[in-house]
Structure formats: structure tokens, C-alpha cells
Amino acid sequence: MAKHATATLDEPRDSKGTTSARETVDPKGSKEVDTLEVDTKDIVLPRAITGIDDLQLDPDAVLGSRHTGPLLSGDPADGSAGIATLHKRAKITVSNGNFSIPVRFPPSTILLQMVAQVQQVYNGTLSKLNLGTTLNGTDVGTVDLLTGPTQVFANISTILPSNWTIYLSQVLGGATQGKCTILISYSVPAKTIPS
């Protein structure tokens, strides 16, 4: 019987990221164990970017804590409590392709600032990273991805529409290399629960 080597992304992997052995049974009942060593830890599969969560998988990320509301600092009893600024962060590369995705915020959000850090200059002709209130829009802000490495700061004066959504878009302009990180700072209302 000929040996068959098969590997799927759903197979168990060992700590080195290689696929495990698979048994093959022929009609006569004899078993063979076929092994295909495939290094899967560096395989990048293209997939559709559907939201900002798809872009927040940064290999340099540190473990964070999840809170259900904004952080307050100060004594709410005397009115000195303040609200911590929140941020949405996304790491974007040419492998994400051209996209325009919704970025949703809680009601009554005030957008504050956009920071874009171009770590690797895009080699396209019109490569841009845009923020807008409509699909592929640019009215909130735009970043030229052809210069860098650089970091660009821009205050945001746009008021969010009633759906509390803006769109993050990448236009490759023929680029085959390039990467950047964007940070969107914003503030949401908060209240304390009386004790």
C-alpha cells in the first residue's frame, strides 16, 4: 500500500507547531502510520478582514485585562473623578489587502486623536490609510503610507454619526510591502454606582 501524507490545519500540533502522525487503515485491516512533518507556525493564510478585531492580533502584544466599563480615577463623592482615555489599536500590513471595515464605538463617544506609525514604508504609488464616516471615506483622517518610518499625530474634529461607527480603510496602490500601526483615542461617558 502506498503511503499517504496528509496534513490539515485542524490536526493536533506539538509544541514546535508541527502536525502529528495520522493512521491509515486499508480495507484488509492492516494499519500504517504516516507522518508528514509540516512546520505550520509561520504559515499565514489570507482571510477576509471583517472588523478591527481581525487587525488587533499583534505578535508583540502583552496580556491585558478586560473591564466592562471605562476606568475612573479620583473621588466621585467630591466630583473630582476623571475618566481614562480609551484606545483602539490595529496592526496593518499589505497582506491584509485593500479593505474598508467598520469600527464601532459606544454611544456618546468623542473621538480625540489618531496616531499612525509607519514601521515599513509601502512601496505602492498611492498607498493610504483612511478613516471616514462612510465606507472608504477620508473625512476623519488620512495617512500617507509612502513616507517613513514615521509617526503621524492628528487631532480628530469629526463628530461621530448616530450609528457611532467610522470606517478604517487601507488602499494599497499596488504596494507589495509595508506595515503600520494605528491608534484611535476616544472618550466615553462614565458614571459611578452609588454605594
* CATH code for the domain in which residue 175 is found: 2.60.120.340
Terminal alpha carbon distance of the chain: 74
Do 75 and 25 belong together in one domain? no
Supply φ then ψ for residue 17, to 5 degrees. Answer: 85, 20
- Do 119 and 161 reside in the same domain of the chain? yes
Are 133 and 71 in a shared domain?
A: yes
Number of domains in the chain: 2
| Residue 137 within a domain | yes
Q: Are 13 and 69 in the same domain?
A: no
Whether this prediction's pTM lies above 0.75 is answered by no
192 falls within a domain: no
pLDDT-derived band at 125 (thresholds 50, 70, 90) equals very high
Phi and psi at residue 94, to the nearest 5°: -60, -25
Give the pLDDT confidence of 36-47 residue by residue, as tens digits: 444 444 444 445
Domain assignment of residue 4, yes or no: yes
Give 3-41 pLDDT, tens digit per residue: 333 333 333 344 444 434 444 444 555 544 444 444 444
DSSP 189: -
In the three-class reduction of DSSP (H, G, I as helix; E, B as strand; rest coil), residue 66 is classed as: coil
Asked if the structure places residue 92 within a domain, the reply is yes
Please state, as a whole number, how many other Cβ atoms lie within 10 Å of the Cβ of residue 163: 11
List the domain range (segments joined by +) for residue 11. Answer: 1-43
